[in-house]
Copies of this chain bind each other. A is one copy, B any other.
Amino acid sequence: LIERIRTRARVRSRDVRIAIGDDAAVLRGSEDHEALVTTDLSIEGVHFRRDWHSPESIGHRCLARGLSDIAAMGGTPTAAFLSLACPQGIDPKWLDRFFDGLLRLAKRFGVALAGGDTALSPTTIIADIMVIGRTEKNAAVLRSSARVGDQVYVTGILGGAARDLHALIRGERKLARDSVFLWPEPQVKIGRKLRTVASAMIDTSDGLSVDLAHVCLESHVSAIIDAERIPIAQGASLEDALHGGEDYQLLLTASRKTRVPRLLFRIGEIVSKKRHPVYLKRGAHVAPLPQRGWQHEM
């Protein structure tokens, strides 16, 4: 569907530098800044379940998705807009707690909830969050600028959200209080630092295999990652770390010569474009890595 929209959206504007296809759009701002814009849908039954997520967690996750997109551009989030459709008769207390979760996260990141729209929904709760951010002129880190020889890094452990989702599916109802699946933490601070380090960057919202493929396809390169180097969350499997989404870490590439922050995990390398976008190395064996991340996209 994204492809259909992209090929259809041919109208250009001098105010738009980068449009559809990155974590956020880049709009020309003032002399020294540019604006970042991202939108993310959260739909009941697709992105969350009211019997799995507390109202606070749903509000938190809704905004976290947008903040993470701004982080993946190396930007600072400044304002958020919420479009919220609820079925008739929604409990006002549910809404209050939803806003508790959303606004607590907004406050921590100094982001203003600056507007939005509300409507009746025929059935389920639908929230669309738009986050606006800013970065220095031409500083936004795109997906399309990874180069052959660059090293591939992630900012933190992967697979924790998939591990917790599987626990919920198995019927377990007691997740850790700081479960990354319930309370994902947007990597805004490290994202800002990485804007001068990364050649390309994306957040791991759909899963490592899918998100790294996005970078490779946009950059016209391929990547080889090393199974032994992938930082796996406690209790998670390699599969969870490779294909589970919603960890909201940052995935980046950087030149071999660039000095990177120590806390990054180096997991692989960018190579010239091959038949598949991503390959997994296990010991001496290298094989194509299928894209089996969580794809909410149709």
Interface residues, chain A, with chain B CB atoms under 8 Å away: 1-2, 4-5, 8-13, 15-16, 19-20, 24-25, 27, 29-31, 33, 35, 37-41, 43-47, 78-79, 81-86, 88, 90, 92, 95-96, 99, 103, 106-107, 110-124, 126, 128, 130, 132, 134, 296-298
CA distance A8 to B92 in the complex (A): 13
Decide if A15 touches B134 in the complex (CB within 8 Å): yes
Decide if B25 touches A81 in the complex (CB within 8 Å): yes
Residue picked from A29, A92, A126, A297, most chain B C-beta under 10 Å: A126
When distances are taken between beta carbons in the complex, the residues of chain B under 8 Å from A81 are 25, 37, 39, 130
For the complex with contacts A16-B114, A27-B132, A90-B298, 16 further pairs of A-B residues with Cβ separation under 8 Å are A9-B99, A9-B103, A10-B103, A13-B112, A16-B79, A16-B112, A20-B114, A20-B116, A24-B115, A38-B115, A39-B128, A41-B83, A81-B130, A121-B126, A122-B123, A122-B124
Decide if B43 touches A85 in the complex (CB within 8 Å): yes
CA distance A23 to B12 in the complex (A): 25
Partner of A11, one of B9, B103, B296: B103
Decide if B11 touches A110 in the complex (CB within 8 Å): yes
Residue contacts A-B, CB under 8 angstroms, 15 given: A8-B103, A8-B113, A9-B112, A11-B112, A27-B78, A31-B31, A39-B116, A39-B117, A43-B126, A44-B122, A46-B85, A46-B120, A83-B128, A88-B298, A119-B297
Least Cβ–Cβ distance between A160 and chain B, in angstroms = 23
When distances are taken between beta carbons in the complex, the residues of chain B under 8 Å from A119 are 41, 43, 46-47, 296-298
With known contacts A121-B43, A122-B44, A82–B115 Cβ distance under 8 A: no
